[in-house]
Amino acid sequence: MGEAIVVTSGKGGVGKTTTTANIGTALALMEKKVCLIDTDIGLRNLDVIMGLENRIIYDIVDVIEERCKLGQALIKDKRFDDLTLLPAAQTSDKSAVTTDGMQKIIQELKQTYDYIIIDCPAGIEQGFQNAIAGADKAIVITTPEKSSVRDADRIVGLLENEDMDPPKLIINRIRNHMMKNGDMLDIDDIIQILSIDLTGIVLDDDDVIKASNSGEPVSLQGKSKASVAYRNIARRILGETVPLQSLEDEKGMFKKMKKFFGIRS
């Protein structure tokens, strides 16, 4: 029996879809069977980021309206056999999906997959209700900005009314120099306001945008900071204890030596 995790944020543009794609890919890297669901009906993106756009034949609305079987709508990933995507419809709107329909699909997917990652649309309307309907757990994404923390707080409040575990937090798009100057909210401040467990921090990384545009999730690229961050999050989802990534840039050997001898640089 698998586990359904919804990735949500309230505010748009904080990186829900990117996070969904990357956590899913990272879990698949660790040889888990993963299914990604895009519930942003009418504004689908997940397929683009995964680079699977031109393989879509049927979508989630087709499944709900019984124009096809669930298995027919699932798209197998190019890179992993155990990673599939259930795309959203681009032509319908959010009312085409019901909470019952979602629950049924997720129940069915749970039989075969270890993890089902649900990409939630922005907002708190029907689309949000649909996305969280079948989920067992939730991950709330925020950026170190006031508006996005405010919306995350609203979402956490709404999730508390649902029958699921307390949500986990990912802080996305951290810019270290701004956080140091105090121009961005501090990680501790954000946790204090939202008072939920932190499950990962992701630095603002140019590679993420490059990767999204090329349809290759960044978590496949070994070196970049964001890639490591996403893989760490996936490991935490699997239950491993992984320390938080350091925000500092990698120091050279010389600087490390200086620090070791206590010389100020």
Binding-site residues for ATP, please? 11-18
Q: Which is nearer to other proteins, 83 or 194 (CB)?
A: 194
Name the minimum Å distance from CB 153 to other proteins: 4
Do strands 75-76 and 3-8 pair parallel, antiparallel, or not at all (unpaired)? Answer: unpaired
Amino acid at 34: V
Structure tokens at 12: 């748009």
Nearer to other proteins, 43 or 124 (CB): 124
CB 140, min distance to other proteins, A: 11
CA-based nearest residue to 20, from 117, 165, 109, 113? 117
Q: Which two tokens stand for residue 144?
A: 């170190």
Binding residues: 11-18
Please identify, using beta-carbon distances, which residue of 59 and 151 lies nearer to other proteins.
Answer: 151
Q: CA–CA distance from 118 to each of 88, 106, 210 (Å)? A: 11, 9, 23
Q: How far is the CB of 94 from other proteins (least distance, A)?
A: 20
Q: State the nearest-atom distance from the C-beta of 19 to other proteins, in Å.
A: 21
Strands 83-86 and 75-76: antiparallel
Q: Which is nearer to other proteins, 133 or 190 (CB)?
A: 190
**Closest separation in Å from C-beta 236 to other proteins:** 23
The conformational region for residue 34 under phi > 0 = left, psi -120 to 50 = alpha, else beta, is: beta
Comparing CB distances to other proteins, the nearer of 40 and 151 is 151
Q: What is the DSSP letter of 245?
A: P
Give the separation between CA 19 and CA 179, rounded to whole angstroms.
21
Q: CB of 188: closest distance to other proteins in angstroms?
A: 13
Q: Which is nearer to other proteins, 32 or 168 (CB)?
A: 168
Under the rule (CB under 8 A), what is the footprint of other proteins?
Answer: 150-151, 153-154, 156-158, 160, 192-193, 195
Burial class (CB in 10 A: 0-12, 13-18, 19+), 75: buried
Burial classification of residue 145, based on how many CB atoms lie within 10 Å of its CB (0-12 exposed, 13-18 middle, 19 or more buried) = middle
